[in-house]
Chain A
Amino acid sequence: MSFLSNLRKRFDSKRVTLQLDDIQGLILRSRPEPYVGIHAMLHVDDAAGGRDLIGRLAGHVPSAEGWTEDMPAWMGVALSHAGLKALGLPDDSLKSFPLAFQQGMAARAAQLRDEGENEPETWEEAYQNESCHIALSIFAQSDAELQRVKANAMAELEQATGVRLMGTHEFGADKEAKNPFGYRDSISQPTVAGAGVEPNPGDERAIAAGEFILGEDSEAGSPVAMPSPDVLGRNGSFVVLRKYESCVGAFNDFLREHGSDEEAQDRLGAKMFGRWRSGAPLNMSPDQDDEALGADRDKNNDFDYSDDTKGLICPHSAHMRRMNPRGSKLTILTDQNIHRIIRRSSTFGPKWSRDMTTSDDTGDRGLFFIFISARAFDTIEFLQQEWINRGNFLDLGEERDPVVGLHEQPGRFTIPDQPVRRRVNGVTTFNRLRGGEYMFMPSISALKWIGEGSWLRG
């Protein structure tokens, strides 16, 4: 079943409680498959010129109204704290944002464990010195649609004064929507309560809207902290953007070193990711890949780990199981429902091939890891500290995520087995951080409010 017909089957407008016509469409709408798109980064030198541009861009940002309908292309707009400052927002507004957002991602390196080869001093220039002020993202079904929306945005930008285009990055993937390592990704997404759809088979219950949309009630029962004034904060959300360079050759070499033939290598890779390359989860197809299952959106996420408490099928330390434990027993008191994220990642670079080696790692492959959450900064710092760069929550001491963990010294990956577990040594940093920023994705009325700058007229 196609993505849209699946979505419509589960949608009922009577269940909608959110103000869909004020929320940016990108927040609720998953990227299409196949997809193409572009990220653009802007820097604001002149506050009035910047505000004028934001106001005009607002007209090109589709709302989430009709988010289950045909949308050939859509654009999203997000702003960093440095960007809000450069746009001249009032001081009390700027101070009403979460502390981590005010500081920016680079300044949070200690909390994010962005150390050594991932430390901000090594990042690409575009992410240095808080120079990313405005991020535009366009997702489209086809190149023609992308060019159409891009032309609209560029026309607005050309009319703007005092706003510089820092850089653009085109991305895309074919129908299989595979990441740089050849695995289908972004399969599991949380269901947002009040957006009108029921969860897919196997998905957890719908998560309180306030975990994703500011001003709505969160899992704690009340809204999380929201920036002021109300028109600026309500119906917005927060975004984490992290650009990773994927060391695909090093990953291939690692699999070759520890797997005697292609079958053994693919099995080790699946143990590390939790899914086979097609997207078929280990827990539904333990022994070999299943292309048909992997491609079937109705089925490929319909599982949990209740029959796999020892991790004999999917290791506790597998990337997918770490990032979404689906009710697995964890050592530490954790509310798994407040660490769920809406993922909007995009892949760039050539497709995966088996024969690549470390010497082919030239930095041209990777992904923009992008996610949306009302607690985005708490969540990424929690994930980086606890679920990615540690094993304590799994009773695995200091073992780290084998796919996205930072491994300054070669790490190990534990694969539970009978009669005794196996440990694979020599895990290195397969995804290296090249930069990132903490962003705010305002509502459409907030974009217009910024555009008007009415606070300046008292």
Chain B
Amino acid sequence: MSKKTTDPRLDDETRLQEFRRVAKEVAADAPQLAKIAIEGLIRDHNKLFDGSSQSAGRAGRQSGNVSELTAIAKVKPGGAARLRRIFDLTGGNFDGAQRVSTLHDMRFVFFDDDTRIIFATTYDGDWDTYINDFGTKIPGLMDLLFANIEGWPGIDSPEVKDFIAGHQIDAAGWFVANPQVTVVDVRRMQRMEAALNDFMDKMSKNDAMDDTTRDALSKLSDAVSVPEGVDY
């Protein structure tokens, strides 16, 4: 469910009008340049690449297919040092996380003299959908990472969902460049890119092309022949 404002004045406003009104309220004392900048933040984009900001199931926010989870928890004594050793060992490669195939990133930040941790991740879908699968497929990795958190009930515990939800804080603001694209999509696009270039190499040397093939190839080339930024 999206957490929409309950201001009744918004009922008949289009999204753009709503943005403009909020921008005006927010920027009432700001110079004109800032107002233009705020409008630039919020103008309508191509729907294919559009984000949104809804609740990701029980907690956290969701934009398109992508969600965020931010949790703050107490770390057991010595836990930060143990986790640092694990992170150093992996050198940024988490094989288990790769296998999951829904995690865009994970971030572990210690603060308050290593007594507390911020865990933040961006992932595809709703947060609790695959929790049961983690519990039977990679229980060791999950427990290795989180056993240093105070009160961690274990990944196979019936209470694990409540435990995570209880430590989560919804992000107030959150931006996703490619909200419609999942981790799996990116990998397929990388494979397609390589295969497509291979195909185009072969076609560039193919003189005996029928009209349908020539036409389809011209359209394909048109779609990828002009350098494009991502602001469209």
Residues of A within 8 A of B (CB): 110-111, 219-222, 224-225, 331-335, 337-338, 375, 378, 381-382, 385-386, 390, 392-393, 395, 397-398
By a CB distance below 8 angstroms, the chain B residues around A224 are 158
Interface-central residue, A335, A337, A338, A375, by most chain B CB under 10 Å: A335
A222 touches B136 (CB 8 A): no
For the complex formed, measure the closest distance between the CB of B163 and the CB atoms of chain A, giving whole angstroms: 13
B101 touches A333 (CB 8 A): yes
Contact sample, A vs B, 26 pairs, CB 8 Å cutoff: A110-B1, A220-B132, A220-B156, A222-B156, A224-B158, A331-B101, A331-B184, A332-B100, A332-B102, A332-B130, A333-B99, A333-B101, A333-B130, A333-B138, A334-B137, A335-B132, A335-B133, A335-B136, A338-B133, A375-B132, A381-B129, A382-B129, A382-B130, A392-B124, A395-B188, A397-B185
- Chain B, Cβ-Cβ closest to A113: B126
A385 touches B126 (CB 8 A): yes
By a CB distance below 8 angstroms, the chain B residues around A219 are 136
Cα A337 to Cα B99 with chains together (Å): 18
By a CB distance below 8 angstroms, the chain B residues around A386 are 125, 129
A111 touches B126 (CB 8 A): yes
Interface residues of B in 127-141 (CB under 8 A from A): 129-130, 132-139
Q: Considering the complex of A and B, which 8 residue pairs feature the smallest CB-CB distances, nearest first?
A: A225-B158, A220-B156, A331-B184, A335-B136, A333-B100, A332-B101, A335-B133, A220-B136
By a CB distance below 8 angstroms, the chain A residues around B182 are 392, 397
For the complex formed, measure the closest distance between the CB of A333 and the CB atoms of chain B, giving whole angstroms: 5
By a CB distance below 8 angstroms, the chain B residues around A110 are 1, 55, 57
For the complex formed, measure the closest distance between the CB of A193 and the CB atoms of chain B, giving whole angstroms: 15
Interface residues of B in 158-210 (CB under 8 A from A): 158-159, 182, 184-185, 188
Cα A220 to Cα B158 with chains together (Å): 11
B135 touches A220 (CB 8 A): yes
By a CB distance below 8 angstroms, the chain A residues around B158 are 224-225
B136 touches A395 (CB 8 A): no
A392 touches B134 (CB 8 A): no
By a CB distance below 8 angstroms, the chain A residues around B129 are 381-382, 385-386
A338 touches B132 (CB 8 A): yes
- Chain A, Cβ-Cβ closest to B102: A332
For the complex formed, measure the closest distance between the CB of A106 and the CB atoms of chain B, giving whole angstroms: 13
- Chain A, Cβ-Cβ closest to B135: A220
By a CB distance below 8 angstroms, the chain A residues around B102 are 332-333
Interface residues of B in 109-150 (CB under 8 A from A): 124-126, 129-130, 132-139
Query: Mask for B54-70, Cβ within 8 A of A = 1, else 0?
Result: 01010000000100000
- Given known pairs A225-B158, A385-B126, the reply for A334 and B184 (CB within 8 Å) is no
Cα A386 to Cα B128 with chains together (Å): 12
A333 touches B137 (CB 8 A): yes
- Chain B, Cβ-Cβ closest to A378: B132
Cα A110 to Cα B55 with chains together (Å): 10
- Given known pairs A385-B125, A385-B129, A397-B185, the reply for A338 and B136 (CB within 8 Å) is yes
Cα A411 to Cα B185 with chains together (Å): 18
For the complex formed, measure the closest distance between the CB of A323 and the CB atoms of chain B, giving whole angstroms: 16
Cα A259 to Cα B159 with chains together (Å): 51
For the complex formed, measure the closest distance between the CB of B211 and the CB atoms of chain A, giving whole angstroms: 17
Contact of A334 among B130, B159, B188 (CB under 8 A): B130
By a CB distance below 8 angstroms, the chain A residues around B136 are 219-220, 335, 337-338
- Chain A, Cβ-Cβ closest to B159: A225
By a CB distance below 8 angstroms, the chain A residues around B100 are 332-333
Cα A139 to Cα B183 with chains together (Å): 46
Q: Known pairs A332-B130, A333-B100, A397-B185; list 8 more (Cβ under 8 Å).
A: A220-B132, A221-B156, A222-B156, A332-B100, A386-B129, A392-B125, A393-B184, A395-B188
- Chain A, Cβ-Cβ closest to B126: A385
Contact of A332 among B1, B57, B184 (CB under 8 A): B184
By a CB distance below 8 angstroms, the chain A residues around B137 are 333-335
For the complex formed, measure the closest distance between the CB of B196 and the CB atoms of chain A, giving whole angstroms: 13
A334 touches B126 (CB 8 A): no
- Chain B, Cβ-Cβ closest to A225: B158
- Chain A, Cβ-Cβ closest to B162: A99
